[in-house]
Amino acid sequence: MLCLHDSIRDDDPSVQRLLCAVEDAPSLTALILAAWQVARVLTVHLVEAVLAERARRPLAWPRCPQCGVVLRSKGFATRQVMSLFGPIRWRRRVGRCPHGCAIPQVAPLDETLGVQPQQRTSGELQQLGCALAVFVPFATAARLLGWYSGRPVSPQAVWGWVQAAGQRAMETLQKHLQALAQGDLPAPEALAADLAAAPLVLGADGVMVPFRPTGGQPTGKTRWQEITVGVLARLGQHRTRTGKVVTRLHHRRLVAVLGDVEALKPRLWLEAVRQGIRQAPQVVWLSDGARGLWRLYEERLAASAVGILDFYHAVQSLWKGAAAWLDGRTTQARRWFGWARHRLRHGQPDGVVADLVEALEVEGLPDSARDTLTALYAYLERHREHIDYAQYKDLGLPIGSGMVESACKWLIQQRFKGVGMRWSETGFNHLLHLRLAWVNGSFEALFQVPLQASPNT
């Protein structure tokens, strides 16, 4: 019987050497890795053979962009790009203007293949490099790519692909934001029936990121800047192994901006429309006490969404009030706090508010305690519509905003706050938008057309 490795060893001595290495491999791991080298060489052979065949086909020459005369072949020239399997070479016809116009050399086959004139790496390598860079530092991504391609890849090359892909993601977003500003609403994303019937939850949070000094110099004082992140998801119930029912976020979508809540507003709204805020059976806004976030809720969401103030934030404020009023070291303070927390949790916030009113009427209350209690009273009054926790529980809605905030934090923390990391605004923005594309499921679409070549790619 003719073995596979007998049938492929005929013509190429380099393949023969690799096949010998496969046969001599002492361990399973060594065997697989040696066979991988053979696969790589065979893949390159196969790709180059197909390209050579295509290059021989007759082709219709385009016209000169300057004088309009049909271009003429100047014969074959070699082209090379770095691929996931190592360098790929092919010879194809190149043309020039017969009138001698100063136009760049034209290679119709490259154009058909989607290869840009200055491109030095093929799309699948760039895409994998960008996907790795979404999660790991550029140097690590470059090293992993080197393992697979069999050739070293520089961190600068990975950085260059990320800049190009991130730029494209930002331009697409800008287009959609402009359309939205002109009243052109995006189509809602298609959802499975069970998801479409689930409540839509929205929330946001701010995270600080270290940036280089103004001007982008590598030395000097770190500038911490705020990134505001919004999350949109469908709420699902999940029963744990111990039988406890917990809320889970499904179909999670994130939006983010280097800037404050004001800058986030249009982005959040764009995604809210896409995530079906106008069709969802129930919409929920979950947030801690941050004023800016509640202003955003009042302006954009209050008409369609139930606002829920994070229960634990509310409880913290209760404790602050109790400690200032009754002295935090006393049993009396702890007792009042326990009572108020219980009331709040079980749907009697009015009882708590009434108690505060009574406390404020007592003469001889120290000024500092009065100030704290007045602030607590104003806080509860401001959020009166957002603290009906018993009702939210009955509706199966969460009362804590923790999972919303951790979704926001993850987007930034996991990649942008490594030890010693400092970002330029442009570099940060490009990678941020790649990460967003990744978590929002639009990453592959970014690479369906080749990236605009820059000297680094």
Binding site for Zn ion (CB under 5 A): 64, 66-67, 97, 99, 101
Least distance (Å) between residue 119 CB and Zn ion: 24
Q: Side chain identity at 161, as an amino acid letter? A: W
Q: Which is nearer to Zn ion, 117 or 186 (CB)?
A: 117
Residue with tokens 């030395």: 219
CA gap 431, 416 in Å, rounded: 9
CA 294, 295, 301, 303 dihedral sign is positive
Locus of tokens 């009138």: 99
Residue ranges with strand state E in 261-382: 283-287, 306-309
Residue closest to 456 by CA, chosen among 144, 118, 105: 118
Exposure string (b/e) for 274-304, b if CB count within 10 Å is 16 or more?
A: bbbbeebebbbbbbbbeebbbebbeebbeee
CB of 229 to Zn ion, least distance (A): 52
List the structure tokens of 68.
């309009």
Q: How far is the CB of 71 from Zn ion (least distance, A)?
A: 8
Is the torsion defined by CA of 6, 8, 9, 10 positive or negative? positive
Ramachandran sector of residue 75 (left: φ over 0; alpha: ψ -120 to 50; beta: rest): left
Toward Zn ion, which CB reaches closer, 64 or 130? 64
- Cβ proximity to Zn ion: between 61 and 148 the closer is 61
Q: Cβ 104 to Zn ion, closest distance in Å?
A: 12
Output 70 or 395, the one with its CB closest to Zn ion: 70
Least CB distance to Zn ion at residue 67 (A): 3
CB nearer to Zn ion: pick between 69 and 208: 69
Asked if 226 and 260 touch (Cβ cutoff 8 Å), the reply is yes
Minimum distance of Zn ion from residue 103's CB (angstroms): 7
CB of 60 to Zn ion, least distance (A): 17
Dist. CA 80–CA 122, nearest whole Å: 10
Taking the complex as a whole, the smallest distance from the CB of residue 136 to Zn ion amounts, in Å, to 48
Nearer Cβ to Zn ion, position 63 or 342? Answer: 63
Q: How far is the CB of 93 from Zn ion (least distance, A)?
A: 17
Q: Sort 308 into a burial class: Cβ within 10 Å, 0-12 / 13-18 / 19+.
A: buried
Fill in the DSSP letter of residue 121.
B
Nearer to Zn ion, 70 or 139 (CB): 70
Q: Which is nearer to Zn ion, 84 or 97 (CB)?
A: 97
Comparison of 19 and 64: residue with beta carbon closer to Zn ion: 64
Q: From the CB of 224, what's the least distance to Zn ion, in Å? A: 56
C-beta closer to Zn ion: residue 67 or 378: 67
Per-residue CA distances from 73 to 10, 49, 112, 223 (Å): 36, 22, 16, 56
The CA distance from 399 to 419, in Å, is 34
Residues 25 and 143: their CA atoms lie apart, in Å, by 24
Based on CB atoms, which residue is closest to Zn ion, 66 or 391? 66
Facing residues of 397 across strands?
none
Least spacing, CB of residue 422 vs Zn ion, in Å: 50
C-alpha to C-alpha distance for 235 and 391, rounded to whole angstroms = 16
Residue among 99 and 248 whose Cβ is closer to Zn ion:
99
- Let me know the angle formed at the C-alpha of 305 by 299 and 309, rounded to the nearest 5 degrees: 85
Nearest distance, CB of residue 106 and Zn ion, angstroms: 11
Whole-Å CA distances, 132 to 116, 126, 316: 23, 10, 40
3-state secondary structure 26-74: CCHHHHHHHHHHHHHHHHHHHHHHHHHHHHHCCCCCCECCCCCCECEEE
